[in-house]
Every structure is written in structure tokens, then in C-alpha cells.
């Protein structure tokens, strides 16, 4: 059983060293780099990772590139980790325990999301399961899906108990910048499917998103931060449809 880890990077120098330090228990690390302009590649190489550079098209294609490299290197399993994530020793031990007798070909990992010093408890940010541990020959990604990509498996998946640790937003400004880009990705997807917004959509969809995150997914458990973030997610739902409107106008 050969287990590799894969990290997708683009200017990830502030995180790459700490991320790689939590992957020493694997049989090796692949870095799929989208032509970074900082010293991500040099740092990763110095720390023993095998780095491959590809022009970025979308996340699904980048993950398929990682799966292909893993096959070429003879790996049976591939663990996808983002540069701003860390694998705890308890998660590493759980993975090494379940894989030898695994009937599942994919494993979902729960994730702690750290938002500028606060560990989220609701709003869809916990338990935030991620399908990241894959049997290499039994998984692929839809190359046409540009964002929120999901592995497609030829068999069953299962759930681990230990957590990934995700330092995904260092500040409110970082959160807003990233969510705006996600909203624009979503608008492109809607546009490619020929979806048009009705006049009321600009109001009903943001309200629905806020209700889903704050009430249904218990964003209120995170106090004022939960109210703030769930409100912003409603705003970025509006922004997705407003961007869609502009795409049709052009």
C-alpha cells in the first residue's frame, strides 16, 4: 500500500512549509503548482516534495493531474491537502489504521475551519466533510466543473472521525476577497448552463442562503461572527446573480 499526498498550490509560500511538515508520515508528496510567482516551488522542492507545474484551468483538472501523477508513481491511495490545511497526528494515525483493510475507495474527512482565530461550529463550516482520501484507480473529477469540485468514485465512500485543520481565512478582508472570486466562478457556471435570473431571484436567493446558513446550519452558534459571515454569504449569493446578469448584458 503506497500512500501519497497531493497539494495544489499557487503562491502558497506562507503555508507550504507547515503543511509539508504534517505529511512526513506519507510515502511522498506531490505538489501540483499553477506557476507560482513566489518561492513556493523552491520551498516545496527543498522539503522533499515532487513538484509539477501546469497552467491553471480549473480545480477539477488540477486534481485529475495529481491523480495521474500518483498513478505514474505507483500509488494506491492519494490524500489531497490544501496548503493552508494541516493533518493532525491523530488523523494520520487513523488513516494508516483504516487503509490496509479498507472496503471503501474514498474517505470523507471532517474539518475544523479557523476564521481569524475562531474555530467555526456552525453555518456549514462544521463538520465540513471533505472527500479527500481516494483510491487512485477508482476516482476522477469532472473536468468541466470549475469550482467546488467533487471526486467521482466507482465504489463506496466512508467517513473518518479525526479532523483536518484548516486555516482558510486570516482576516475578514481575506474572506471577502475569496468569496467574491467564488461568486464570480458560480456566475460563470450558471451562465454556461443557460440559467437566467428572475427579477425576484436577486432577493429570494440571498435570503434563502442566509436562512440556510444561519438557521438550518446553526450559524448562530458562532455568535456575532456567525451572523456576520452568514450575512456575507447571502450578499455573495446576490453578487453571483448580479454577475450573471452582467454576463448576459455583455
Q: What is the chain's pLDDT, residue by residue, as a tens digit (250 residues)?
A: 899 999 999 999 999 999 999 999 999 999 999 999 999 999 999 999 999 999 999 999 999 999 999 999 999 999 999 999 999 999 999 999 999 999 999 999 999 999 988 999 999 999 999 999 999 999 999 998 767 788 999 999 999 999 999 998 888 998 999 899 889 989 998 998 999 999 999 999 999 999 999 999 999 999 999 999 999 999 999 999 999 999 999 8
- Spatial contact of 155 and 105, defined as CB atoms under 8 Å apart: yes
Q: Where are the domains of the chain?
A: 3-168, 171-249
* CA contacts within 13 A on the Cβ side of 176: 7
Calculate the alpha carbon distances from 87 to 20, 22, 79, 91, 161 in Å: 9, 5, 10, 6, 13
H/E segment holding residue 111: strand 111-115
- ω before 8 within 30° of 0 (cis)? no
Q: Say which CATH class 3-168 falls into.
A: alpha beta
Amino acid at each position: 500500500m503506497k500512500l501519497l499526498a497531493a497539494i495544489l498550490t499557487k503562491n502558497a509560500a506562507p503555508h507550504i512549509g507547515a503543511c509539508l511538515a504534517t505529511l512526513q508520515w506519507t510515502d511522498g508528496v506531490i505538489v501540483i503548482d499553477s506557476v507560482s510567482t513566489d518561492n513556493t516551488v523552491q520551498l516545496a522542492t527543498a522539503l522533499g516534495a515532487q513538484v509539477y507545474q501546469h497552467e491553471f484551468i480549473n480545480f477539477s483538472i488540477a486534481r485529475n493531474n495529481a491523480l495521474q501523477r500518483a498513478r505514474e508513481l505507483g500509488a494506491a491511495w492519494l490524500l489531497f491537502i490544501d496548503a493552508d490545511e494541516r493533518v493532525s497526528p491523530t488523523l494520520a494515525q487513523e488513516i494508516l489504521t483504516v487503509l490496509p483493510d479498507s472496503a471503501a475507495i474514498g474517505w470523507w474527512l471532517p474539518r475544523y475551519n479557523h476564521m481569524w482565530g475562531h474555530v467555526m461550529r456552525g453555518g456549514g463550516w462544521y463538520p465540513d466533510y471533505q472527500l479527500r482520501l481516494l483510491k487512485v484507480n477508482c476516482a476522477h473529477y469532472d473536468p468541466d466543473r470549475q469550482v467546488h469540485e467533487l471526486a467521482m468514485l466507482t465504489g463506496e465512500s466512508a467517513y473518518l472521525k479525526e479532523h483536518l485543520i484548516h486555516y482558510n481565512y486570516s482576516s475578514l478582508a481575506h474572506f471577502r476577497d475569496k468569496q467574491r472570486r467564488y461568486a464570480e466562478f458560480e456566475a460563470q457556471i450558471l451562465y454556461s448552463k443557460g440559467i437566467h435570473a428572475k427579477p425576484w431571484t436577486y432577493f429570494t436567493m440571498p435570503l434563502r442562503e442566509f436562512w440556510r446558513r444561519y438557521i438550518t446550519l446553526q450559524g448562530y452558534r458562532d455568535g456575532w461572527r456567525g451572523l456576520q459571515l452568514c450575512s456575507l454569504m447571502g450578499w455573495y449569493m446576490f453578487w453571483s446573480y448580479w454577475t450573471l446578469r452582467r454576463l448576459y448584458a455583455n
